Structure 1
């Protein structure tokens, strides 16, 4: 489990999932497993030597811009840290949410305008 302040997870957000899977599969030798714990859409986990490495989020059914990478930072207590972040000038983009076996997640815009995810990883993850 990643420690507080460390990168916890990264994901490619794209409308061209098959193209991305083909590219990263061929160029990096990765395989991809389907993951959909909430029933909210398709998600793929890139596997490196049988271990989860990062994800691909299918953006075809979600609003958004061009394909891009998104990063999550591990935090020790997401709810408390978000309160501090808001006091420091950040904005919460949506209510904090849970993904079973993954963790509790907040999506923020920091005071510089950068979009970032904060996650308290699940003990099961």
Structure 2
């Protein structure tokens, strides 16, 4: 290995890409949960407004809080997901650039000798 050999740096970048992919997956899960919270809060608010199950003011306030919390969480996680995907793209481009600088050798097939 020489000083110009980028294999260690490529390995570090691949580790970073894996960490970023985990963050992106976690964001997708939170986005789904946020959408469920918004839908559930909206449904509960509608039930409360229509008075279908005799729920009171506390349920209305809780449903509003659920909708607002879901909206905030959704926006935050969408933003984080976009930033993470951008960072993944940049890391993959750098990795491709480093791989392109490696002097690759062609390995020829040779017949194997059976012992």
Q: Do they superpose with TM above 0.5?
A: no
> TM-score of the superposition, structure 2-length normalised?
0.22
Q: Which has the higher strand share?
A: 1
TM-score (normalised: structure 1): 0.21
Query: Which structure carries more helix by proportion?
Result: 2
The structure number with the bigger radius of gyration is 2
